[in-house]
């Protein structure tokens, strides 16, 4: 496994067909758009259908999560649906350096998208 890939961990709720990561076991982390830079000698992978491209997103109230770089238009999301990704220690060190406190090696994945109608129906 390369430094910019992450293993997907599915929760007990299963693998939602509404999520971009449905049916895959690994994602590729977009270091550049996440504001992260690994040393040049670290091995990295290019994204593929088997390991699509995700970026690291930070929200002050919730911390870090991962979401797909390519997102469908006209849909509500990305929403978390109980999936997580185990990231490499080198990336946790970079994230910790940005926020100044420890960051775990498992980040939530927010890659579920719903139509506005689905969202309204499921939110009631």
Residue spans of the domains in the chain: they are 5-123
Cis? peptide before 78, omega within 30° of 0: yes
Q: pLDDT of 39-49, one tens digit each?
A: 889 999 999 99
* Rounded Cα distance, 42 and 53, in Å: 18
Give 17-59 pLDDT, tens digit per residue: 778 888 899 999 999 888 889 988 999 999 999 999 999 999 9
Cα within 13 Å of Cα(99), Cβ side: 18
Q: How far apart are CA 14 and CA 72, in angstroms?
A: 22
Q: 0.85 exceeded by the pTM?
A: yes
Q: Per the structure block, which two tokens stand in for 99? A: 């926020």
């Amino acid at each position: 496994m390369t430094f910019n890939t992450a293993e997907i961990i599915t929760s007990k709720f299963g693998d939602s067909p509404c999520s971009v990561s449905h049916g895959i076991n690994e994602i590729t982390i977009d270091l550049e758009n996440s504001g992260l830079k690994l040393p040049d000698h670290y091995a990295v992978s290019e994204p593929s259908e088997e390991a699509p491209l995700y970026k690291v997103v930070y929200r002050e109230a919730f911390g870090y999560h991962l979401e797909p770089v390519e997102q469908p238009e006209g849909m509500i999301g990305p929403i978390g649906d109980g999936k997580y990704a185990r990231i490499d220690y080198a990336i946790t060190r970079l994230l910790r350096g940005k926020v100044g406190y420890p960051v775990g090696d498992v980040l939530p994945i927010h890659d579920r998208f719903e139509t506005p109608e689905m969202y309204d129906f499921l939110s009631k």
